[in-house]
Amino acid sequence: MIFTVAIDGPAAAGKGTIGRAVAQQFGFQHLDTGLLYRAVGALGGDPVAAAEGLVPEDLARPDLRSLAAGAAASRVAAIPEVRAALLAFQRRFARMEGGAVLDGRDIGTVICPEAEVKFFVTASPEVRAHRRWLETGGDAADVLAQVIARDRHDAERATAPMVAAPDALLLDTTEMSISAAVETAASAIRIRIEQGRA
């Protein structure tokens, strides 16, 4: 079965947690698209060749969350040929046999506009900043300012801005628990799968 779930939304809204949970529930593969550039940077060598040859196993490297991988990701993300290759990777991943869940900021609008189910996961900036602060610490006001600035940058960029697809189901996790959000998402996926079998 080929079945794509696209999950978009701003940082710390819960899209990765929801994506992993529904992927596990349905036996789908999951892709955190933010890891792609880190993997290309961590592989070293010619970044275009690394992007073109990227395989899912490369995303399981233990060093992808390191500061060095983050710095390398920033460098390779500026290369248009790398971005084009990673677009192709994401589209191949999305349509693999057995089903796939992708989370990011432009999955339902740019990467997989044909996805069978689309979600836009959001929450208030204050709630998302608090979640991020719990992870990273630091000054809470600074974290909130960073979240707001990142939202503005993602929504206003010229290429693939972060917007909800017109047919995306909105999941606002400001007051909704993650378990409730996962169940809402899973219910929508089950309905679409059954419709496909009818």
Domain assignments of the chain as residue spans, ordered by start: 4-197
Closest CA to 172 of 141, 128, 131: 128
User: At 120, phi and psi to the nearest 5?
Assistant: -120, 110
Confidence grade of residue 67 (pLDDT, cut at 50, 70, 90): low
The per-residue pLDDT for 120 is 97
Model's pTM, two decimal places?
0.84
| Most confident option among 51-60, 91-100, 154-163 | 91-100
16 has binding-site annotation: yes
Return the half-sphere exposure (C-beta side, CA atoms, 13 A cut-off) of residue 40: 28
118 has binding-site annotation: no
- Give dist(CA 27, CA 184) in Å, integer: 17
Amino acid at 167: D
196 has binding-site annotation: no
Confidence grade of residue 198 (pLDDT, cut at 50, 70, 90): low
Confidence grade of residue 79 (pLDDT, cut at 50, 70, 90): confident
Looking at domain 4-197, its CATH superfamily turns out to be: P-loop containing nucleotide triphosphate hydrolases (3.40.50.300)
CA dihedral (63, 64, 68, 73) positive or negative: positive
**DSSP states of 153-167:** HHHH-SSS-----TT
Assess whether pLDDT exceeds 80 at residue 43: yes
13 has binding-site annotation: yes
104 has binding-site annotation: no
15 has binding-site annotation: yes
184 has binding-site annotation: no
Assess whether pLDDT exceeds 90 at residue 121: yes
